[in-house]
Homo-oligomer: A and B are copies of this chain.
Amino acid sequence: MRCTGAAIRRAARRTSQFYDDALKPLGLKLTQYSLLSNIDLLDRPTITELADHLVMDRTTLTRNLTPLRVSGWVHLEPGADRRSRAVVLTSRGTDLLAAVKPVWQQAEVALRAKAGDARLRKLRRLLDEVASVLDPQ
């Protein structure tokens, strides 16, 4: 397989399974942890801002937020004007994130042990560069 796109998707499947497995005891998937983490990182982002930050289609984000809202971890509040909505963690969401973080960290450390720290650092840099190069705007 020489297709770069297919190779990235393949690696994404494998690594997602690795993280998902680690997060399983907490009932979270990698995508969901990533969402909670980035909502916490940004300051009351709108849907569009958060989606741009994650390089995710806005409508995908809307739907990915649904299970987090249903679980009571995320709340949508009125935004700066009547069109926009601010994405915020609930207190339960904040608590969950604090509980998940060390579990995620363990997974990250385990991955580094398996794959090598330098290698992952290089991979990370290349991924960011390629993603940045493909930025449409």
Contacts and interface: CB of A to CB of B under 8 A. Distances in A.
Contacts of A41: 1
A5 B15 contact: yes
A82 B134 CA distance: 47
A126 B129 contact: no
Which label, helix, strand, loop or mixed, suits the secondary structure of the A interface? helix
Most chain B C-beta atoms within 10 Å of own C-beta, residue among A5, A11, A17: A5
Given A114-B134, A119-B129, A16 B10 contact: no
Contact of A30 (B5, B54, B104, B128): B5
Top 8 A-B pairs, shortest CB-CB distance: A12-B12, A6-B34, A11-B127, A5-B19, A123-B126, A14-B131, A11-B131, A5-B15
